[in-house]
């Protein structure tokens, strides 16, 4: 018996050592690949200084003049709503959608609704707040990310549909295909992984989140987090604009394919330049993939415990699903296909989401300033 124990112990030890060696080898390979990648970029900084300067300038112009004015108000709004009592009711119409994913907390429906309106950054910030307040677990956060991530309705409707292809109806069809494809992929993953499902009860939520925050503390926290998040987004946008510009210089023959993988705006520009009847299908695929830039931007806004492994699994379902939905829609509404192409993509300086977020911010502020809350605070002080 003692000899059997020794043999089993030696086998487990050798197995653990082999797994550790395999993991360490993968880590070393990843470090070497990253080092080579950054050395290549550093070499290109000296080889193409004008290209680097122009691409960074275009990236910061895109971030400060186009993206931030549309994203920042929605990020402030999402932070205020999620940390207020309105979080349980603002997205009540979408609660059946999040409940089908196995998420019982009603605040997740509000975050899902805001993500559909504001895009991936608003969704990621809301998921971060829900996860840190222990209203959703890690699996639910990853499913919510898979269901709601998108490049933004204003970008798909106005920039891609209206300005690039000259048809806002086509933009609406693209938006419908991408959003429903994402949700169906998350729903399928939730059904596949039902055995590992777990929920947080109301007792796990901090008492401060159940009673609401004071106005001063709420605005301070939300403003700081929104400004920090927008700063991170600016850095990623400028960096990936640099990568796309360097791809055009170093790999001119297949730079378009690299841009489709790296960044959604440059990928859509490349697809629109193709004289191919399949370019609209490629547009749907690029919008559903969303680009590595959006993936990393969303990951930077999420907690470290949330990984993108389930998200990349969902892309294997979301891209074919979006293509199928687009094919059905184009058969039902063939008149949405434009006959004349539009102009180049130019992000809208004034988006409808800014107006909506402004009014909702005012409503949330007035709700927090009602005499009911002031009386409650006075009673607590007494």
pLDDT tens readout for residues 286-315: 999 999 999 999 999 999 889 899 999 999
* Degrees to nearest 5, angle at CA 116 with 120 and 221: 60
pLDDT score at 220: 81
Whether the CB-CB separation of 51 and 210 falls below 8 Å is answered with no
Nearest alpha carbon to residue 209 among 367, 77, 86? 86
Do 99 and 136 meet the contact criterion of CB atoms below 8 Å apart?
A: no
**Residue 358 falls inside a structural domain:** yes
Asked whether residue 345 is domain-assigned, the answer is yes
- How far CA 113 is from CA of 82, 96, 126, 232, 265, in Å, comes to 12, 12, 10, 23, 24
Q: Provide the pLDDT for residue 381.
A: 46
Strand, helix or coil for residue 349: coil
Quick one: tokens of 214?
């004071």
Angle of CA points 95, 96, 101, to nearest 5°: 95
Q: Considering the domain boundaries, does residue 307 fall inside one? A: yes
Question: Would 4 be classed as within a structural domain?
Answer: no
Query: CA nearest 300: which of 346, 357, 239?
Result: 239
Inter-residue contact 293 to 264 (CB < 8 Å): yes
Please tell me the total count of domains within the chain. 1
> Which residue has tokens 């070497």?
32
Q: Among 188, 299, 297, which residue's Cα sits nearest to residue 232? A: 297
Say what the pTM is: 0.78
Domain with 200 in it: 56-224+302-381
Rounded (5°) CA angle 158-297-248: 70
Contact between 50 and 75 (Cβ < 8 Å): no
Place of tokens 């184009």: 330
Residue 48 lies in a domain: no
Structural domain contains residue 8: no
Q: Is residue 342 part of a domain?
A: yes
CA count, 13 A, side-chain hemisphere, 90: 26
- Residue 211, token pair as written in the block: 């009673």
Rg (CA), the chain: 23
DSSP one-letter string for 19-68 = HHHHHHHHHHHHHHHHHHHHHHHHHHHHH-HHHHHHHHHHHHHHIIIIIH
- CA 223, distance to chain mean position in Å, is 20
Proportion of the chain in helix, strand, coil states, percent, rounded to 5: 80, 0, 20
The Cα 67–Cα 234 span in angstroms is 9
Q: Is there a domain that residue 278 lies in?
A: no
The first and second tokens of residue 139, run together, are 């699996």
Q: How many CB atoms lie within 10 A of CB 328?
A: 12
Chain-centre distance of CA 46, in angstroms?
33
Q: CB of 149 within 8 A of CB of 290?
A: yes
Q: Which residues of the chain have pLDDT under 70?
A: 1-27, 29-32, 34, 36-38, 195-216, 339-382
């Amino acid at each position: 018996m003692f000899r059997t124990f020794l043999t089993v112990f030696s086998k487990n030890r050798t197995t653990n050592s082999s797994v550790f060696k395999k993991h360490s080898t993968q880590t070393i390979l990843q470090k070497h690949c990253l080092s080579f990648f950054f050395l290549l970029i550093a070499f290109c900084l000296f080889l193409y200084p004008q290209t680097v300067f122009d691409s960074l300038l275009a990236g910061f112009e895109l971030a400060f003049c186009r993206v931030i004015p549309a994203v920042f108000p929605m990020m402030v709004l999402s932070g205020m709503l999620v940390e207020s009592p309105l979080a349980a009711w603002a997205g009540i119409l979408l609660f059946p959608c999040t409940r089908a994913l196995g998420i019982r907390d009603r605040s997740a429906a509000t975050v899902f609704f805001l993500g559909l309106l504001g895009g991936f950054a608003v969704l990621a910030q809301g998921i971060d707040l829900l996860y840190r307040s222990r209203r959703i677990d890690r699996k639910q956060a990853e499913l919510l990310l898979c269901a709601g991530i998108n490049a933004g309705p204003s970008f798909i409707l106005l920039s891609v549909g209206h300005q690039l292809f000259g048809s806002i109806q086509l933009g609406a069809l693209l938006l419908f295909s991408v959003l429903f494809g994402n949700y169906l992929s998350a729903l399928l993953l939730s059904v596949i992984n039902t055995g590992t499902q777990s929920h947080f009860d109301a007792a796990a939520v901090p008492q401060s989140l159940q009673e609401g925050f004071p106005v001063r503390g709420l605005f301070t926290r939300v403003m700081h987090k929104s400004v920090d998040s927008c700063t991170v987004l600016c850095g990623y946008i400028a960096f990936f604009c640099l990568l796309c510009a360097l791809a055009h210089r170093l790999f001119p023959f297949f730079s378009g394919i690299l841009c489709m993988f790296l960044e959604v705006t440059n990928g859509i520009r490349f697809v629109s330049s193709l004289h191919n009847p399949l370019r609209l299908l490629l547009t749907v695929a690029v919008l559903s993939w969303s680009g590595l830039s959006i993936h990393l931007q969303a990951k930077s806004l999420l907690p470290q415990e949330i990984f993108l492994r389930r998200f990349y699994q969902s892309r294997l379902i979301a891209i074919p699903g979006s293509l199928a939905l687009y094919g059905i829609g184009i058969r039902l509404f063939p008149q949405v296909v434009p006959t004349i192409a539009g102009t180049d993509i130019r992000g809208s300086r004034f988006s409808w989401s800014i107006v909506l977020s402004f009014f909702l911010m005012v409503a949330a502020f007035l709700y927090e300033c009602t005499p009911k809350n002031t009386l409650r605070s006075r009673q607590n002080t007494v």
